[in-house]
Structure 1
Amino acid sequence: MQLSMRTDYALRALFTLVEHRGGPPIPILELARRNDVPKRFLEHIMLDLKEKGWVASTAGKRGGYQLAKNPEKITMGEVVRHFDGYLAPIACVSVSDYKRCTQETTCRFRRVMLTARNLVANLMDRTSLADVIKSPVVSPDELRKIQGIDGEGI
């Protein structure tokens, strides 16, 4: 599963707002800077998040964005589906974006892809933004160890 840039940037902004929940609004320029996201692109994403009811904006000199919904009530699955539309690795196992494949009656790897889709969807649907913020960051060394990669680079 590969997240779109739009989803990646939305999650970055949401995580920043979760971390600063209860604080003053964060201006769009500051939100863009903290998350290494182009301001113009982030403006469109934030409007989308506002329409969804996940963030609120305040106008004026001290204005900016704040989380509008409890982060325990927003799941990773919801955010990814909102921006990308699906969680499935291939369209023929998608629940929300199913597309028939010419190889459905003979496909040997569809079952594996269906299992992968279900595992990812279940994890994403039960993981809230608050859960993500509570978990430690994965270091490059830890990632290499988990992936079984020797040497430098990921």
Structure 2
Amino acid sequence: MLSQKAKYALRALIMLAERPDDELVLIADIAERENIPRKFLEAILVELRKQGLLFAKRGKSGGYRLARPANEISFGEVIRLIDGHLAPIPCASKYSFKPCEDCIDPDTCSVRWLMVQVRDATAGVLDKRTLADALRHRQATGGLAANFDI
């Protein structure tokens, strides 16, 4: 299941994708527009900056912007950075495999077999969809326009 932290990260990133590449956006503006608690958002944005998804500038004319083009940032990448993995159970994780305590043999476990398929299908969608795709969807469905001003 997608954590609230990952949902907030995605919403903030999509908002930043709406802005021109060189425009910096204040945390307060993101928090207000996306209805995200500011302190929680601050921690999320710092984490995304450390992971190379955001550029930040401090000071009077500071703020945040995407560090890479929106079409190069996938939902899968963001979710993995925030939540750690896409697998529904730890034994199905590609990068952080951990066998279940009650499992006799993960290689023959039918539950794991199915959950690996779920993981692969989920990754197949999330790794192909980018912030640019979400922005196009937002605009096509009458979501907030790219020129939205706070």
TM-score interval, normalised by the smaller of the two chains: 0.7 to 0.9
CA shift at 1:62, angstroms?
3.1
CA shift at 1:107, angstroms?
4.0
* 1:73-125 Cα shifts (integer Å, max 9, x gaps): 11111111111111001111111121112335474433222211110011111
In the alignment, what sits opposite 1:11?
10
Give the TM-score taking structure 2 as reference length. 0.81
Question: Larger relative CO (CA 8 A, sep 6+): 1 or 2?
Answer: 2
In the alignment, what sits opposite 1:118?
120
Work out the CA distance in 2 between the residues paired with 1:52 and 1:95. 20
CA shift at 1:23, angstroms?
5.8
In the alignment, what sits opposite 1:45?
44
User: Does structure 1 residue 103 correspond to structure 2 residue 103?
Assistant: yes
Q: Structure 2 regions of 5+ residues with no counterpart?
A: 142-150
In the alignment, what sits opposite 2:54?
55
1:122 maps to a residue whose letter is G
Secondary structure of residue in 2 paired with 1:57? strand
Secondary structure of residue in 1 paired with 2:56? strand
> 1:136 and 1:28, CA in 2 relative to 1: closer, same or farther beyond 3 A?
closer
Q: Percent identity?
A: 38
RMSD: 2.2
1:131 maps to a residue whose letter is D
Report if aligned partners of 1:21, 1:67 keep a CA contact under 8 Å in 2: no
Aligned residues: 138
CA shift at 1:36, angstroms?
1.0
Work out the CA distance in 1 between the residues paired with 2:24 and 2:104. 50
In the alignment, what sits opposite 1:146?
none
> 1:104 and 1:14, CA in 2 relative to 1: closer, same or farther beyond 3 A?
farther
In the alignment, what sits opposite 1:84?
83
Report if aligned partners of 1:28, 1:65 keep a CA contact under 8 Å in 2: yes
Q: Structure 1 regions of 5+ residues with no counterpart?
A: 140-154
